[in-house]
Protein backbone atom coordinates (compact mmCIF):
# COMPACT_ATOMS: atom_id res chain seq x y z
CA UNK A 1 0.00 0.00 0.00
CA UNK A 2 1.29 3.45 -0.88
CA UNK A 3 -0.05 6.24 1.29
CA UNK A 4 -1.98 4.05 3.77
CA UNK A 5 -1.21 6.06 6.91
CA UNK A 6 -4.31 8.15 6.29
CA UNK A 7 -7.96 7.61 7.04
CA UNK A 8 -8.91 5.00 4.42
CA UNK A 9 -5.59 3.18 4.49
CA UNK A 10 -5.68 2.78 8.26
CA UNK A 11 -9.14 1.23 8.12
CA UNK A 12 -8.10 -1.01 5.23
CA UNK A 13 -5.08 -2.34 7.11
CA UNK A 14 -7.27 -2.91 10.16
CA UNK A 15 -9.74 -4.92 8.06
CA UNK A 16 -7.11 -7.04 6.31
CA UNK A 17 -5.33 -7.78 9.58
CA UNK A 18 -8.32 -9.91 10.52
CA UNK A 19 -6.96 -12.34 7.93
CA UNK A 20 -3.26 -11.89 8.60
CA UNK A 21 -2.49 -15.38 7.33
CA UNK A 22 -3.84 -14.37 3.90
CA UNK A 23 -2.51 -10.83 3.49
CA UNK A 24 1.13 -9.88 4.08
CA UNK A 25 1.15 -6.09 4.02
CA UNK A 26 3.54 -3.18 3.79
CA UNK A 27 2.61 0.50 4.01
CA UNK A 28 4.89 2.97 2.23
CA UNK A 29 4.12 6.51 3.35
CA UNK A 30 5.82 9.84 3.88
CA UNK A 31 3.97 10.01 7.22
CA UNK A 32 4.10 7.52 10.11
CA UNK A 33 1.01 5.44 10.90
CA UNK A 34 -1.03 6.10 14.04
CA UNK A 35 -1.69 2.40 14.53
CA UNK A 36 0.45 0.30 12.18
CA UNK A 37 4.05 1.47 12.29
CA UNK A 38 5.16 -2.15 12.53
CA UNK A 39 4.39 -2.52 8.80
CA UNK A 40 5.05 1.11 7.77
CA UNK A 41 8.24 2.27 6.05
CA UNK A 42 9.12 5.81 5.07
CA UNK A 43 8.82 6.50 1.37
CA UNK A 44 7.68 9.24 -0.99
CA UNK A 45 5.52 8.47 -4.03
CA UNK A 46 7.52 11.16 -5.86
CA UNK A 47 10.79 9.30 -5.27
CA UNK A 48 11.52 6.56 -7.82
CA UNK A 49 14.23 4.92 -5.71
CA UNK A 50 11.87 4.65 -2.73
CA UNK A 51 9.22 2.93 -4.82
CA UNK A 52 11.67 0.66 -6.65
CA UNK A 53 12.94 -0.61 -3.31
CA UNK A 54 9.69 -0.91 -1.38
CA UNK A 55 7.51 -2.51 -4.07
CA UNK A 56 9.96 -5.42 -4.45
CA UNK A 57 8.22 -8.71 -3.74
CA UNK A 58 4.67 -7.33 -3.98
CA UNK A 59 1.81 -9.07 -5.78
CA UNK A 60 -0.53 -6.07 -5.74
CA UNK A 61 -0.20 -2.34 -5.13
CA UNK A 62 -2.96 -0.22 -3.63
CA UNK A 63 -2.24 3.42 -4.46
CA UNK A 64 -3.83 5.79 -1.93
CA UNK A 65 -1.25 8.58 -1.83
CA UNK A 66 -2.71 11.88 -3.02
CA UNK A 67 -2.88 15.63 -2.59
CA UNK A 68 -6.58 16.21 -2.07
CA UNK A 69 -7.35 19.35 -0.05
CA UNK A 70 -9.05 22.29 -1.77
CA UNK A 71 -6.25 24.71 -0.86
CA UNK A 72 -2.96 23.00 -1.72
CA UNK A 73 -0.18 25.43 -2.63
CA UNK A 74 1.59 25.41 -4.97
CA UNK A 75 -0.98 23.77 -7.23
CA UNK A 76 1.82 21.91 -8.99
CA UNK A 77 1.82 19.53 -5.98
CA UNK A 78 -1.46 18.01 -7.19
CA UNK A 79 0.26 16.92 -10.40
CA UNK A 80 3.62 16.01 -8.85
CA UNK A 81 1.94 13.62 -6.40
CA UNK A 82 -1.23 12.47 -8.12
CA UNK A 83 0.11 12.15 -11.68
CA UNK A 84 3.86 11.90 -11.23
CA UNK A 85 3.33 9.47 -8.36
CA UNK A 86 1.28 7.25 -10.64
CA UNK A 87 3.97 7.25 -13.32
CA UNK A 88 6.69 6.36 -10.83
CA UNK A 89 4.55 3.66 -9.21
CA UNK A 90 3.96 1.94 -12.56
CA UNK A 91 7.67 2.04 -13.40
CA UNK A 92 8.52 0.51 -10.01
CA UNK A 93 5.88 -2.18 -10.46
CA UNK A 94 7.21 -3.10 -13.89
CA UNK A 95 10.75 -3.26 -12.57
CA UNK A 96 9.61 -5.63 -9.81
CA UNK A 97 7.26 -7.80 -11.88
CA UNK A 98 4.12 -6.68 -10.04
CA UNK A 99 1.12 -6.56 -12.40
CA UNK A 100 -1.88 -5.67 -10.22
CA UNK A 101 -2.84 -2.20 -9.02
CA UNK A 102 -5.89 -0.77 -7.29
CA UNK A 103 -5.99 3.01 -7.66
CA UNK A 104 -8.10 5.40 -5.62
CA UNK A 105 -9.35 8.00 -8.05
CA UNK A 106 -12.41 10.16 -7.31
CA UNK A 107 -15.85 11.15 -8.57
CA UNK A 108 -14.24 14.60 -8.83
CA UNK A 109 -13.26 13.56 -12.38
CA UNK A 110 -16.90 14.14 -13.42
CA UNK A 111 -17.08 17.76 -12.24
CA UNK A 112 -19.99 19.48 -10.53
CA UNK A 113 -23.75 19.17 -11.02
CA UNK A 114 -23.68 16.19 -13.34
CA UNK A 115 -26.87 14.09 -13.47
CA UNK A 116 -26.12 10.79 -11.74
CA UNK A 117 -23.04 9.94 -13.86
CA UNK A 118 -21.94 6.33 -14.24
CA UNK A 119 -18.45 5.12 -15.15
CA UNK A 120 -19.01 5.87 -18.87
CA UNK A 121 -19.81 9.54 -18.28
CA UNK A 122 -17.30 11.96 -19.86
CA UNK A 123 -14.75 13.43 -17.51
CA UNK A 124 -15.14 17.15 -16.80
CA UNK A 125 -13.16 17.99 -13.65
CA UNK A 126 -13.45 21.53 -12.35
CA UNK A 127 -10.53 21.79 -9.92
CA UNK A 128 -6.88 20.76 -9.75
CA UNK A 129 -7.65 17.74 -7.60
CA UNK A 130 -10.15 16.35 -10.12
CA UNK A 131 -7.95 17.24 -13.07
CA UNK A 132 -4.92 15.53 -11.56
CA UNK A 133 -6.91 12.39 -10.70
CA UNK A 134 -8.21 12.23 -14.26
CA UNK A 135 -4.72 12.69 -15.67
CA UNK A 136 -3.56 9.82 -13.44
CA UNK A 137 -6.33 7.66 -14.90
CA UNK A 138 -5.21 8.60 -18.41
CA UNK A 139 -1.71 7.40 -17.49
CA UNK A 140 -3.26 4.07 -16.48
CA UNK A 141 -5.27 3.87 -19.71
CA UNK A 142 -2.16 4.33 -21.81
CA UNK A 143 -0.19 1.89 -19.67
CA UNK A 144 -2.81 -0.82 -20.11
CA UNK A 145 -2.61 -0.52 -23.90
CA UNK A 146 0.98 -1.76 -23.79
CA UNK A 147 0.47 -4.02 -20.73
CA UNK A 148 -2.77 -5.93 -21.49
CA UNK A 149 -1.81 -8.77 -19.15
CA UNK A 150 -2.01 -6.42 -16.13
CA UNK A 151 -4.98 -6.11 -13.78
CA UNK A 152 -5.81 -2.44 -13.28
CA UNK A 153 -8.73 -1.57 -10.99
CA UNK A 154 -9.86 2.01 -10.41
CA UNK A 155 -12.21 3.09 -7.64
CA UNK A 156 -13.91 6.47 -7.93
CA UNK A 157 -15.38 7.01 -4.47
CA UNK A 158 -17.64 9.84 -3.52
CA UNK A 159 -16.87 11.70 -0.28
CA UNK A 160 -15.85 9.18 2.39
CA UNK A 161 -16.81 9.59 6.04
CA UNK A 162 -16.51 7.62 9.24
CA UNK A 163 -15.12 7.43 12.74
CA UNK A 164 -12.08 9.67 13.38
CA UNK A 165 -12.40 11.48 10.04
CA UNK A 166 -12.11 15.26 10.14
CA UNK A 167 -13.33 16.34 6.75
CA UNK A 168 -16.31 18.10 5.24
CA UNK A 169 -18.83 15.42 6.27
CA UNK A 170 -17.64 15.49 9.88
CA UNK A 171 -17.84 19.29 9.94
CA UNK A 172 -21.37 19.05 8.58
CA UNK A 173 -22.42 16.41 11.13
CA UNK A 174 -20.87 18.44 13.96
CA UNK A 175 -22.66 21.62 12.91
CA UNK A 176 -26.01 19.85 12.53
CA UNK A 177 -25.74 17.91 15.78
CA UNK A 178 -24.60 21.04 17.61
CA UNK A 179 -27.54 23.11 16.41
CA UNK A 180 -25.23 25.59 14.62
CA UNK A 181 -26.19 24.58 11.12
CA UNK A 182 -27.32 27.03 8.45
CA UNK A 183 -28.97 25.41 5.43
CA UNK A 184 -27.96 27.11 2.17
CA UNK A 185 -30.58 26.42 -0.49
CA UNK A 186 -33.77 24.36 -0.24
CA UNK A 187 -32.11 21.19 1.05
CA UNK A 188 -33.45 18.97 -1.74
CA UNK A 189 -30.03 18.40 -3.33
CA UNK A 190 -28.83 14.83 -2.88
CA UNK A 191 -25.44 14.15 -1.38
CA UNK A 192 -23.77 10.89 -2.33
CA UNK A 193 -21.59 9.55 0.49
CA UNK A 194 -19.58 6.43 1.30
CA UNK A 195 -18.99 4.98 4.75
CA UNK A 196 -15.36 4.02 5.27
CA UNK A 197 -16.29 0.57 6.55
CA UNK A 198 -17.95 -0.15 3.20
CA UNK A 199 -15.26 1.31 0.97
CA UNK A 200 -12.50 -0.77 2.56
CA UNK A 201 -14.70 -3.87 2.30
CA UNK A 202 -15.07 -3.08 -1.41
CA UNK A 203 -11.29 -2.83 -1.79
CA UNK A 204 -10.94 -6.26 -0.16
CA UNK A 205 -13.57 -7.63 -2.54
CA UNK A 206 -11.65 -6.27 -5.53
CA UNK A 207 -8.39 -7.74 -4.25
CA UNK A 208 -10.01 -11.16 -4.01
CA UNK A 209 -12.51 -11.17 -6.88
CA UNK A 210 -11.70 -8.54 -9.54
CA UNK A 211 -8.36 -9.92 -10.61
CA UNK A 212 -8.20 -9.47 -14.39
CA UNK A 213 -8.60 -6.71 -16.95
CA UNK A 214 -9.08 -2.96 -16.69
CA UNK A 215 -12.01 -2.07 -14.43
CA UNK A 216 -13.51 1.22 -13.21
CA UNK A 217 -16.06 1.46 -10.41
CA UNK A 218 -17.86 4.39 -8.84
CA UNK A 219 -18.40 3.76 -5.15
CA UNK A 220 -21.40 5.27 -3.35
CA UNK A 221 -23.57 3.91 -0.55
CA UNK A 222 -27.16 3.88 -1.76
CA UNK A 223 -29.79 5.21 -1.56
CA UNK A 224 -28.58 8.83 -1.44
CA UNK A 225 -29.93 11.20 1.21
CA UNK A 226 -31.11 14.71 0.47
CA UNK A 227 -29.83 17.31 2.89
CA UNK A 228 -33.25 17.45 4.52
CA UNK A 229 -33.26 13.64 4.93
CA UNK A 230 -29.76 13.75 6.36
CA UNK A 231 -30.83 16.25 9.02
CA UNK A 232 -33.85 14.11 9.86
CA UNK A 233 -31.68 10.99 10.22
CA UNK A 234 -29.19 12.75 12.50
CA UNK A 235 -32.08 14.03 14.61
CA UNK A 236 -33.37 10.47 15.07
CA UNK A 237 -29.96 8.95 15.84
CA UNK A 238 -29.14 11.59 18.44
CA UNK A 239 -32.75 11.81 19.67
CA UNK A 240 -32.78 15.59 19.56
CA UNK A 241 -34.64 18.28 17.68
CA UNK A 242 -32.39 19.98 15.15
CA UNK A 243 -33.72 23.28 13.78
CA UNK A 244 -32.62 24.29 10.29
CA UNK A 245 -32.84 27.78 8.84
CA UNK A 246 -32.74 28.02 5.04
CA UNK A 247 -30.68 30.78 3.39
CA UNK A 248 -30.78 31.55 -0.35
CA UNK A 249 -27.87 30.31 -2.44
CA UNK A 250 -26.72 33.79 -3.46
CA UNK A 251 -26.39 34.82 0.17
CA UNK A 252 -24.42 31.69 1.01
CA UNK A 253 -21.99 32.31 -1.85
CA UNK A 254 -21.57 35.93 -0.80
CA UNK A 255 -20.62 34.75 2.67
CA UNK A 256 -18.20 32.23 1.15
CA UNK A 257 -16.44 34.96 -0.82
CA UNK A 258 -16.16 37.02 2.36
CA UNK A 259 -14.42 34.11 4.06
CA UNK A 260 -12.13 33.74 1.00
CA UNK A 261 -11.07 37.36 1.43
CA UNK A 262 -10.57 36.92 5.17
CA UNK A 263 -8.43 33.82 4.59
CA UNK A 264 -6.29 35.72 2.10
CA UNK A 265 -5.81 38.66 4.46
CA UNK A 266 -5.01 36.54 7.53
CA UNK A 267 -3.16 33.75 5.75
CA UNK A 268 -5.22 31.19 7.69
CA UNK A 269 -7.13 28.18 6.36
CA UNK A 270 -10.77 28.64 7.31
CA UNK A 271 -13.55 26.05 7.55
CA UNK A 272 -15.81 28.05 5.22
CA UNK A 273 -14.99 29.13 1.66
CA UNK A 274 -16.82 29.84 -1.58
CA UNK A 275 -15.63 26.48 -2.98
CA UNK A 276 -17.07 24.61 -0.01
CA UNK A 277 -20.39 26.48 -0.19
CA UNK A 278 -20.56 25.64 -3.90
CA UNK A 279 -19.81 21.97 -3.22
CA UNK A 280 -22.35 21.89 -0.38
CA UNK A 281 -25.15 23.18 -2.60
CA UNK A 282 -24.19 21.09 -5.62
CA UNK A 283 -25.95 17.91 -6.58
CA UNK A 284 -23.44 15.16 -5.87
CA UNK A 285 -25.37 12.09 -6.92
CA UNK A 286 -23.47 9.31 -8.67
CA UNK A 287 -24.47 5.99 -10.18
CA UNK A 288 -22.87 3.05 -8.35
CA UNK A 289 -24.96 0.30 -9.97
CA UNK A 290 -21.86 -1.43 -11.33
CA UNK A 291 -20.22 -1.75 -7.89
CA UNK A 292 -23.37 -2.98 -6.18
CA UNK A 293 -24.26 -5.45 -8.95
CA UNK A 294 -20.85 -7.11 -9.27
CA UNK A 295 -21.36 -9.46 -6.33
CA UNK A 296 -20.18 -7.15 -3.56
CA UNK A 297 -22.42 -6.78 -0.52
CA UNK A 298 -21.82 -3.71 1.64
CA UNK A 299 -21.61 -4.69 5.33
CA UNK A 300 -23.44 -1.50 6.41
CA UNK A 301 -26.27 0.62 5.09
CA UNK A 302 -25.64 4.35 4.69
CA UNK A 303 -27.87 4.99 7.69
CA UNK A 304 -25.92 2.50 9.79
CA UNK A 305 -22.61 4.07 8.78
CA UNK A 306 -23.88 7.51 9.77
CA UNK A 307 -25.21 6.17 13.07
CA UNK A 308 -21.89 4.48 13.89
CA UNK A 309 -20.04 7.70 13.12
CA UNK A 310 -22.42 9.91 15.10
CA UNK A 311 -22.33 7.61 18.13
CA UNK A 312 -18.52 7.40 18.09
CA UNK A 313 -18.01 11.14 17.67
CA UNK A 314 -20.85 12.68 19.67
CA UNK A 315 -22.28 10.08 22.08
CA UNK A 316 -19.66 7.76 23.54
CA UNK A 317 -16.43 8.90 25.25
CA UNK A 318 -13.53 8.72 22.78
CA UNK A 319 -10.74 6.24 23.57
CA UNK A 320 -8.04 8.64 22.30
CA UNK A 321 -7.51 11.86 20.35
CA UNK A 322 -6.36 10.34 17.06
CA UNK A 323 -7.97 12.07 14.06
CA UNK A 324 -7.53 12.08 10.29
CA UNK A 325 -7.88 15.38 8.46
CA UNK A 326 -9.31 15.09 4.95
CA UNK A 327 -11.79 16.96 2.73
- What pLDDT does 59 receive? 98
pLDDT at residue 81, as a whole number: 96
Tell me the pTM. 0.90
- The predicted pLDDT at position 327 comes to 65
Return the domain boundaries, the chain.
7-229+276-325
Q: Could you give the CA distance from residue 123 to residue 222 in angstroms, rounded to a whole number?
A: 22
Q: What is the pLDDT of residue 260?
A: 93
Q: Which residue stretches of the chain have pLDDT < 50?
A: none
Predicted local confidence at residue 179, as pLDDT? 76
Given this model, what pLDDT does residue 45 score?
97
Whether 161 contacts 194, CB under 8 Å: yes
Q: In whole angstroms, what is the distance from residue 38 CA to residue 24 CA?
A: 12
pLDDT at 298: 98
For the domain spanning 7-229+276-325, the CATH number is 3.40.50.720
Q: What are phi and psi of 326, to 5 degrees?
A: -135, -165
Catalytic residues, which ones? 129
State the pLDDT at residue 272. 81
Q: What is the DSSP string of 248-314?
A: -HHHHHHHHHHHHHHHHHH-PPPS--HHHHHHHHS-B----HHHHTTT---SS-HHHHHHHHHHHHH
Q: How many CB atoms lie within 10 A of CB 84?
A: 20
DSSP structure class, residue 141: H
What per-residue confidence (pLDDT) applies to 291? 98
Amino acid sequence: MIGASGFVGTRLIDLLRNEAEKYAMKNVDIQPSHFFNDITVTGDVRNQDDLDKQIAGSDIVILLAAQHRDDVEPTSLYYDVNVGGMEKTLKAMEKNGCKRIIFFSSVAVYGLNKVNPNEEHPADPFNHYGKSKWQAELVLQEWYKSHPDWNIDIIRPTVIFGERNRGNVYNLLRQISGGKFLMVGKGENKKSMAYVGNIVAFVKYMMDEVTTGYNVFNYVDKPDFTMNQLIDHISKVLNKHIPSTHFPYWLGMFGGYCFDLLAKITGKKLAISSVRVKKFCATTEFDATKAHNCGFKAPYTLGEGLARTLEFEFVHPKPDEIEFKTE
